[in-house]
Amino acid sequence: MLIEIASLTFTILGVFFLLAGSVGLIRLRDTYSRIHAITKADVLGFGFLVLGLMLSTRTLSEVLKLLLTWLLVVSYSSLVSYAIAHRKRKRDVA
């Protein structure tokens, strides 16, 4: 029961952060702040989401798979934001 509540709380928290990030991506003015919003919210929101899902799994292998997914998504999302920021700076300088 306690685990279920914790799992649900973490999931909702994760969804909230992802939503905030998406709103930031749409509403903020320039590219840098957009990247800032989406990357931070992505890492945090997805982290909470995975944490919530981990608490609702039964086997260890599922937990490990979720952890691996989290690692991959975090590394890729930071890489993508790095790529966008890099490109934007190059364009601004030139």
Partner 1 sequence: MLLDLMLGSLLLLSALLSLHSRNSLKSGIFFVVFGLLSGLLWVRLEAPDVAMVEIVLGSAVTSLLIFKLIATARIKAVKVHRIRKFWAGVISLAFLVYMIPYLLTLRKEQRIEVLVFEKLSMSGVESPVTAVLLNFRGYDTLLEVGVITLAVFGIIALNKGDKVYVWRDPLVQSLSRWILPMTVFFSFYVTYLGTFSVGGAFQGGSLLAGGLIFLSLTGQDVHIGESIKKSLLLLSLLVFCGVGLMYAVTGYGFLVYPLPLSTISIILIELSICLSTALLLYTAYRGKV
What helix, strand, coil percent values describe the chain, rounded to 5?
90, 0, 10
Number of residues that bind partner 1 (CB under 8 A): 6
Among the listed ranges 6-14, 23-31, 53-61, 77-85, the one in contact with partner 1 (CB under 8 A) is 77-85
Q: Is 4 exposed, middle or buried (0-12, 13-18, 19+ CB in 10 A)?
A: exposed
Residue 85 and residue 38 in contact, taking contact as beta carbons nearer than 8 Å? no
| 19 binds partner 1, rule: CB under 8 A | no
- Which range binds partner 1 by CB under 8 A, 3-11, 17-25, 33-41, 76-84? 76-84
For the bound state, the minimum distance from the C-beta of residue 79 to partner 1, rounded and expressed in Å, comes to: 6
Q: Does 69 bind partner 1 (CB under 8 A)?
A: no
Footprint on this chain of partner 1 (rule: CB under 8 A): 72, 75, 79, 82-83, 86
